[in-house]
């Protein structure tokens, strides 16, 4: 029998990669804090109906990619494929609108989609997302986009282009769809089966088809902006003006409709020119009627999510190791000094390891260097003194060792 492997489309992150993960997550939390966003945590599985009625039955996510199962009582549950629907559910369930008009929320967690795995596309992936709930103001759309860009810049990622489009509102959507259908009617038979079905059920979704045989037919598509109502025009213009005022250059992508049905007006993606086909690291948009459609009060909202795995591929910052102290003894009888010195250092938030076996000085120093220790302490055979090796070496009475190390070693930052 072969050895067990990760299930297809999933990955392990080993200790050489997890510091980068932590840095990204910490940076995201820090940026969200600057904008006064607060964390929300929801379950990893929800009732299937929540996703079918919010993301939309014609989307690939709902029609092909959900991990759905029956529990022991026969209830249909689904591993969450994204975070927004669950946040909307939670907002309604806990009547957050009664606790304030405006809610700024963020979340971090695994999502699940049964997709065909490839570089940057997994079946379990982690999203970090924000939801700005309670305001129809185009300034909020611009603010979440700026927040995403600031996050990526802070992580040293360049070459990120915000692509924007508008997908209209319930008033102008029928006009958009009609124009789209008129344009596609003559080529309908050349399009894939999904596109043909969506022609009748959800024409806008056709633009989300990724099949190379269909994409050429979308190139001369009438620009959605020519079909939207005046209010949607004004909204889009104001988003662009806010972004322009902030010095953000955007690309208008008239075919960007996003893979989820709950969007209205602004739809956007932050796209990297350094990733291959899965070049969208971040996607989002406005979803003014999702919460009311799920049974909540009218609560306009806008948000985004980015994929941790795609971001990991772009950040190549070398993470500086946390300075560490190595402690060893030359005589087994003095091991208890190593043990207690290490604990005293940790009490002072200094990272420390101690070696159990008595070794020669050279033996310890080799081990210390293998562990990347910034400073090594060897307890001397008299048990009364210790030698500290850093750039130079100094032998001190045991009573002074702790104070000396504290003075010369930076504390480990709190997470």
Binding site for ligand HAM (CB under 6 A): 82-84, 113, 115, 120-122, 125, 127, 129, 131, 259-260, 280-285, 303-307, 309-310
Task: Decide whether 263 or 326 has the Cβ nearer to ligand HAM.
Answer: 263
Task: Decide whether 84 or 135 has the Cβ nearer to ligand HAM.
Answer: 84
Smallest separation (angstroms) from ligand HAM to the CB of 121: 4
Smallest separation (angstroms) from ligand HAM to the CB of 59: 9
Give Cβ neighbours of residue 238 (< 8 Å, ≥ 6 apart). 138, 139
Smallest separation (angstroms) from ligand HAM to the CB of 231: 20
Task: Decide whether 168 or 285 has the Cβ nearer to ligand HAM.
Answer: 285
- Residue 126: which of 202, 218, 205, 44 has the closest Cα? 44
Task: Decide whether 47 or 118 has the Cβ nearer to ligand HAM.
Answer: 118
Smallest separation (angstroms) from ligand HAM to the CB of 267: 9
Smallest separation (angstroms) from ligand HAM to the CB of 269: 6
Smallest separation (angstroms) from ligand HAM to the CB of 170: 18
Task: Decide whether 84 or 409 has the Cβ nearer to ligand HAM.
Answer: 84
Task: Decide whether 60 or 194 has the Cβ nearer to ligand HAM.
Answer: 60
Query: Helices 48-55 and 84-93 meet at what angle, rounded to 10?
Result: 110
Smallest separation (angstroms) from ligand HAM to the CB of 49: 17
Tokens 């250092």 map to which residue? 345
Smallest separation (angstroms) from ligand HAM to the CB of 283: 3
Task: Decide whether 145 or 195 has the Cβ nearer to ligand HAM.
Answer: 145
Task: Decide whether 78 or 409 has the Cβ nearer to ligand HAM.
Answer: 78
């Amino acid at each position: 029998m072969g050895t067990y492997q990760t299930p297809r489309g999933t990955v392990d992150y080993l200790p050489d990669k997890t510091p980068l993960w932590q840095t990204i997550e910490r940076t995201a939390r820090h940026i969200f804090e600057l904008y006064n966003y607060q964390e929300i945590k929801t379950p990893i599985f929800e009732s299937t109906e929540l996703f079918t009625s919010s993301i939309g039955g014609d989307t690939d996510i709902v029609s092909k990619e959900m991990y759905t199962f029956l529990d022991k009582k026969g209830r249909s549950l689904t591993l969450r494929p994204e975070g927004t629907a669950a946040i909307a559910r939670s907002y309604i369930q806990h009547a957050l609108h009664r606790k304030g008009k405006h809610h700024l929320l963020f979340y971090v967690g695994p999502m699940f989609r049964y997709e065909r795995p490839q570089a940057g596309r997994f079946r379990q992936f982690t999203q970090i997302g924000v939801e700005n709930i309670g305001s129809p103001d185009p300034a909020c759309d611009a603010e979440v986009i700026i927040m995403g860009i600031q996050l990526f810049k802070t992580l040293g990622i360049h070459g990120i282009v915000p692509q924007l489009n508008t997908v209209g509102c319930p008033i102008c959507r029928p006009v958009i769809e009609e124009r789209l259908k008129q344009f596609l009617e003559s080529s309908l038979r050349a399009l894939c089966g999904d596109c043909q079905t969506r022609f009748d059920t959800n024409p806008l979704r056709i633009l989300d088809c990724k099949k190379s045989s269909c994409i050429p037919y979308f190139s001369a598509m009438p620009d959605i902006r020519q079909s939207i109502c005046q209010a949607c025009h004004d909204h889009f213009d104001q988003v662009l003006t806010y972004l322009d005022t902030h010095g953000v250059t955007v690309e208008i992508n008239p075919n960007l409709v996003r893979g989820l049905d709950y969007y209205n007006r602004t739809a956007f993606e932050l796209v990297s020119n350094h990733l291959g086909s899965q070049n969208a690291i971040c996607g989002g948009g406005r979803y003014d009627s999702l919460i009311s459609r799920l049974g909540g009060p009218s609560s306009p909202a806008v948000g985004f999510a980015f994929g941790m795995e795609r971001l990991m591929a772009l950040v190549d910052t070398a993470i500086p190791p946390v300075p560490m102290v190595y402690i060893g003894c030359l005589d087994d009888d003095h091991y208890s000094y190593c043990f207690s010195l290490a604990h005293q250092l940790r009490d002072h938030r200094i990272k420390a390891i101690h070696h159990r076996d008595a070794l020669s000085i050279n033996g310890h120093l080799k081990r210390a260097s293998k562990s990347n220790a910034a400073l090594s302490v060897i307890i001397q055979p008299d048990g009364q003194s210790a030698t500290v090796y850093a750039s130079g070496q100094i032998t001190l009475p045991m009573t002074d060792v702790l104070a000396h190390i504290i003075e010369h070693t930076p504390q480990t930052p709190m997470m």
